[in-house]
Amino acid sequence: MATLPLSYPMSGGDGPHSYVRNSSYQKAAIDSVKEKTKEAISKILDFHNQPFKGEVFRVADFGCSFGQNTFDVVGNIIQTVELKHKQEKTEEEKIKNPKKELEFHVFFNDQPNNDFNTLFKTLPLLLSTRRCFAYGVPSSFYGRVLPRNSIHIGHTSYTLHWLSKAPEDVGDRNSPAWNKDSIQCTSLVGEASNAYRVQFKRDMADFIEARAEELVPGGLMIISGQCLPDDVSMVSTWKGVVIDMIGDCLFDMAKSGVTREEMVESFNLPIYFPNTSELEEVIEQNGCFRIEIMEEVKHPMEDETLSNDFIVSKFRAIFHGVIEEHFGGGLIDELFGRFAKKLTSYPVDFKKCRKDMQYFIVLKRYVF
Amino acid sequence: MATLPLSYPMSGGDGPHSYVRNSSYQKAAIDSVKEKTKEAISKILDFHNQPFKGEVFRVADFGCSFGQNTFDVVGNIIQTVELKHKQEKTEEEKIKNPKKELEFHVFFNDQPNNDFNTLFKTLPLLLSTRRCFAYGVPSSFYGRVLPRNSIHIGHTSYTLHWLSKAPEDVGDRNSPAWNKDSIQCTSLVGEASNAYRVQFKRDMADFIEARAEELVPGGLMIISGQCLPDDVSMVSTWKGVVIDMIGDCLFDMAKSGVTREEMVESFNLPIYFPNTSELEEVIEQNGCFRIEIMEEVKHPMEDETLSNDFIVSKFRAIFHGVIEEHFGGGLIDELFGRFAKKLTSYPVDFKKCRKDMQYFIVLKRYVF
């Protein structure tokens, strides 16, 4: 695709380093919003006051990756909608079509290099029966990927901190935003941080704009993910500490000659945790959605001291693709071996770290 | 999927035995109907007398597999529709929306174990721009896989000789249809042949019924594939000869102890080449389609003496999946090694073989 943003899929298959086996942190987060999602749909979705013809209900999971998490999310949405639909059937409808049930179409969206083969081969029964049709949509969600005015509920979980790309300036030796000593903007001030912020706002605006086109008026967009309270900087969180530590390992490897220093200097993670106010601002600027819910969610593992093994596996599964893209595949084992050792020598002091924030947002597409 | 028919995908990836590198016979067939497809769409598709709102045009390729063939087919359809649409724009439309272009949605359908990853990663520019949205639809086309009343042009090439399964009776030692000495019904008479015929009719009827639901009234279904003239039996064609030879190799391997004789006896290819009259009969029985075109097409390689290497590679790429499913993967190399040797000793006498037939069919969904 000509305009395809960079894309770093989660580790495919189901081997020991795969995303499937190392996404329990994400799963815990998804579980924590399961009930909230049910409540929101029950309360906010309106079968009677939106252009909804009542035969086919369309659900999309943007940036679905693969594995059980997306199936759980979509299954939860379908079951909630189904129940609500049965409960709210008018007496007239009940007499006219006593047996008529909703038909669901589920669109699984992710980058073309996502492991759709695994996704399709593991579709659970609920999503592959004749009443539910599953589609793969291989395209970047920072542009439109679905027909206009077609989706009733859109969903995305823990995807929007992935930028479409690292801001160009931070990798440019001649730019004032050049981000030489870090692989993200965790400890940055000034130009580099600003370049990340601008990139986030642009990407998020594109995401919201595309969804505004795809959702039917009255349709819901459910978003969960991670951000930072307005007074917290990334470097003071445990994730920021860990990202810096991985960066340090890369610089160590450059010193040992495993890679070149320029390679590490020009490497920048396309990741940004916005502050809550930045997030809210972009949504409101779009103007097509009413913010029905925007609240903090406690991550179930938030107060746990995570084991070093857990941290290494989690970050390996997540960063594997983006690191391989820049450095080639040969250095992954050594990098995460070094990272594991460094973590043992300098364990994260979770008590000293500030907390990042998990958010749960439900937007409703205005009926103009 | 609970009711998933058996499925034997073409060999994945792009290695030496892959379908991608061994589908030139199919490509030649597809090329031979390219012009016919253009002509049929130009002549038969009616933008003005069908429920077509003129914004989004939906195309589906059923049993698409992966690789260049499906992209060529779909690209050809899109370009033809686009041209016709521009030419037939009314003066009123031209003034009202001078720049408005059709948006295309393309649904690539195949079994969930098709190599969708390769399909999605190799999408050509035409099919991945903002004016054209591509979807993967992982489900058996012997049932409904798409929304009712949604597709404007459906297409399938060289897929319908694959049955949803080999008829159960032919693998059953206690059935009069037990097909002990052959891996298909090439040389069969009586019960086994009849079991294959019944299975074909049932599958083909399911296919046509599902497409009747999915196509919009006035929509076109374009089908090409291979069948047999009414007076020709499979065993007298070169493909029949080759299939019997592969069967003989399997029996040889049972004698050598590489596999067991019962395994070969119970193996039956889920493949059937219908006679033209059988094909026509099933379509007409459905009653939802008018047969606009049903004609013989000359396969460009029809008069060529195909090399043994070509034959071995082609049949390996096609049968790899179905053989592996039954026997496990370990015997493929030896089987096709033996087959190559046997072909050298007993080359196919193409001049003595009767010809099978390539058909090109265009159906139009009745507007009731």
**Residue A227: inside a domain, yes or no?**
yes
Interface check B53 vs A, CB under 8 A: no
Question: A51 with A98: CB under 8 angstroms?
Answer: no
Interface check B79 vs A, CB under 8 A: no
**Residue A118: inside a domain, yes or no?**
yes
Interface check B136 vs A, CB under 8 A: yes
Which is nearest to B80 in space by CA: B123, B122, B33, B125?
A: B33
For residue B366, which amino acid is it? Answer: Y
What's A179's DSSP letter? -
**Nearest by CB: A130 against B103, B107, B143:** B143
C-alpha to C-alpha distances, B20 to B25, B81, B114, B307, nearest whole angstrom:
11, 27, 12, 19
**Residue A9: inside a domain, yes or no?**
no
Interface check A117 vs B, CB under 8 A: yes
Q: Where are the alpha helices (DSSP H) in chain A?
A: 24-32, 34-44, 68-88, 91-96, 116-121, 191-214, 238-255, 261-265, 276-286, 308-327, 332-345
B123 and A1 within 8 Å at the Cβ level: the answer is: yes
- Tell me the pairing of strands A151-157 and A215-227: parallel
pTM of the model: 0.84
Question: Above 0.95 for ipTM, yes or no?
Answer: no
Which pLDDT score is estimated for A50? 61
**Does pLDDT of A49 surpass 80?**
no
B1 and A129 within 8 Å at the Cβ level: the answer is: yes
**Does pLDDT of A232 surpass 70?**
yes
Which pLDDT score is estimated for B186? 62
- Quick count: other Cβ atoms within 10 Å of Cβ A325? 15
A136 and B133 within 8 Å at the Cβ level: the answer is: no
Range of the domain at B87: 21-365
A112 and B121 within 8 Å at the Cβ level: the answer is: yes
Number of domains comprising chain A = 1
DSSP B312-357: HHHHHHHHHHHHHHHH-GGGHHHHHHHHHHHHHHS---TTTSBP-E
Which pLDDT score is estimated for B301? 74
Question: A56 with B214: CB under 8 angstroms?
Answer: no
Which pLDDT score is estimated for A3? 32
- Measured over the CA atoms of residue B165, residue B167, residue B170 and residue B172, the dihedral's sign is positive
Look at phi and psi of residue A150 and say left if phi exceeds 0, alpha if psi is from -120 to 50, else beta: alpha
A125 and B56 within 8 Å at the Cβ level: the answer is: no
b/e sequence B201-214, b meaning 16+ C-beta within 10 Å = bebbbbbbbbbbeb
**Nearest by CB: A147 against B105, B116, B148:** B105
b/e sequence B277-304, b meaning 16+ C-beta within 10 Å = ebbbebbeeeebbeeebeeebebeeeee
**Residue B13: inside a domain, yes or no?**
no
Min Cα distance B107 → chain A (Å) is 9
Task: List A284's β-bridge partners, or say none.
Answer: none
**Residue A212: inside a domain, yes or no?**
yes
pLDDT band at A131 (very low <50, low <70, confident <90, very high): confident
Run means of pLDDT, 10 residues per run, chain B, 368 residues: 47 67 71 92 85 80 92 95 86 72 92 94 86 93 91 95 90 82 69 90 97 95 95 90 93 94 91 94 95 90 83 91 89 95 93 92 92
- Quick count: other Cβ atoms within 10 Å of Cβ B261? 14
Query: What would the pLDDT profile of A308-362 be if each residue is shown by its tens digit?
Result: 999 999 999 889 889 998 998 889 999 999 999 999 999 998 889 999 999 999 9
* CATH number of the domain where residue B239 is located: 3.40.50.150
Segment holding B364, helix H or strand E: strand B357-365
**Residue A4: inside a domain, yes or no?**
no
**Does pLDDT of A5 surpass 50?**
no
pLDDT band at A4 (very low <50, low <70, confident <90, very high): very low
**Residue B8: inside a domain, yes or no?**
no
Min Cα distance A258 → chain B (Å) is 31
Residue with tokens 């694959």: B162
- Tell me the pairing of strands A289-297 and A357-365: antiparallel
CA-to-CA distance for A197 and A275, rounded, in angstroms? 10
Q: Which carries the bigger pLDDT value, residue A368 or residue A109? A: A109
A139 and B128 within 8 Å at the Cβ level: the answer is: yes
B143 and A135 within 8 Å at the Cβ level: the answer is: no
Mapping DSSP to helix (H, G, I), strand (E, B) and coil, where does residue B137 land?
strand
**Residue A68: inside a domain, yes or no?**
yes
Read off φ and ψ for residue B351, nearest 5 degrees: -70, -30
Mean pLDDT of chain A: 87
Residues of chain A positioned with their CB less than 8 A from the CB of B55: 148
Which pLDDT score is estimated for B4? 36
Segment holding B197, helix H or strand E: helix B191-214
B133 and A147 within 8 Å at the Cβ level: the answer is: yes
